[in-house]
Amino acid sequence: MKDISPGDLEKGLPLVSKRDAAHKTVVNVGTHAIGRSNFTVIAGPCAVESQGQIVEIAHRVKALGAHLLRGGAFKPLTFPYRSSSVFELREEGLRYLKKAGEEAGLPVVTEVMDPRLVERVASCADMLQIGARNMQNFPLLEAVAETGMPVLLKRHFGCSLRDWLGAAEYLLKGGNPNVVLCERGIVAPHTHQPASRFIVDLQVVPAAQEMTHLPILVDPSHSTFRRAYVAPVARAACAIGADGVLVDVHPAPEQAAVDPLQALGYPDFERLIQDLRGICKVVGREFESSLAPR
């Protein structure tokens, strides 16, 4: 795997690289700023399952301290088959998500997978997620860049930091500076075992911070794929200096339509938020939402 050379930073990553040690971008999503001295928690179900479900979750995670609501309407599911228990609500789900965010007062982030649907998804979201599988889908990156909207760019599980920053450079070059990186686990020879589907690359947080001014989050849910590991990895992400975490939360985690093994129920999420508040104090970050003046 190639390392990032000084030539890459200058010629391949001129917009993504830091000008100096203090250079840091703040991405405003609705009324919430990501990447200032605050820590951001994005929470919600893997998939939007019904209007009632997403509205209820939005109110609950907001009350517990989340800053942004997540929920998938278009899902990159491993198998092409859908059933009454495994499904995606697509456009219907987008409408429910928008309503839930408005009712609870939370900006929403959701995945877009198809360049043809970027405008449609953008009309219902405050931030667009590029999923791990699409990190190097360059036409999609270009279409998303054109919206100028905040983007959550997940790292592909087989890609280096060099590849990841290269994908971010496409967004910035496309005229969109509002990019937030999200680590979600990488594959290694011993992964895809029950206890290690992916390996969370926590050291990529300081590594990225050395090179780029873009904020960086960690997704302890999709990286560990295992409920018991989500809170420990989220706490570690906060301690290592990430700008936030993205956590799957579901009222009945075992019954979630997608990713039932990793979602946290409300009591676990509440405990995690308490822990994160404590860690934030130690590492010198605020927990509360804040809109940064540009």
Tally of CA atoms within 13 A in the half-sphere of 224 that contains its CB:
23
Q: Does 197 bind ligand PEP (CB under 6 A)?
A: no
- With CB under 5 A as the contact rule, the residue among 13, 16, 42, 46 that binds Mn ion is 46
> Amino acid identity, residue 9?
L
**Binding marks (x or -) toward ligand PEP, 231..250, rule CB under 6 A?**
--------------------
Q: Does 131 bind ligand PEP (CB under 6 A)?
A: yes
Q: Which residue has the tokens 């390996």?
A: 199
Given ligand PEP, Mn ion, none, residue 131, with its beta carbon under 5 to 8 Å by kind, binds: ligand PEP
Name the E strands within 3-161. 27-29, 32-34, 40-44, 68-70, 108-111, 127-130, 151-154
- With CB under 5 A as the contact rule, the residue among 215, 231, 259, 272 that binds Mn ion is 259
Cα–Cα distances (Å) from 136 to 6, 133, 154, 235, in that order, read 22, 8, 10, 29
Given Mn ion, ligand PEP, none, residue 107, with its beta carbon under 5 to 8 Å by kind, binds: none
d(CA 55, CA 189): 41
Dihedral class, residue 185 (left if φ above 0, else alpha if ψ from -120 to 50, else beta): left
SS3 for 151? Answer: strand
Judged by CB, which is closer to ligand PEP: 111, or 169?
Answer: 111
Q: Between residue 21 and residue 60, which ones bind ligand PEP under the rule CB under 6 A?
A: 46
Q: Does 72 bind ligand PEP (CB under 6 A)?
A: yes
Judged by CB, which is closer to ligand PEP: 165, or 280?
Answer: 165
* DSSP character string of 79-112: SS---SSS---HHHHHHHHHHHHHHHT--EEEE-
Using CB atoms, what's the residue nearest to ligand PEP? 131
Q: Does 154 bind ligand PEP (CB under 6 A)?
A: yes
> Amino acid identity, residue 213?
H
Query: Binding segment for ligand PEP among 82-90, 115-123, 128-136, 161-169 (CB under 6 A)?
Result: 128-136
- With CB under 6 A as the contact rule, the residue among 23, 31, 50, 76 that binds ligand PEP is 76
Q: Does 222 bind ligand PEP (CB under 6 A)?
A: yes
Question: What count of other Cβ atoms lies within 10 Å of the Cβ of residue 11?
Answer: 9
User: Which residues of the shown chain bind ligand PEP in the complex (CB under 6 A)?
Assistant: 46, 72, 76, 131-133, 154, 184, 219, 222
User: Which residues of the shown chain bind Mn ion in the complex (CB under 5 A)?
Assistant: 46, 259
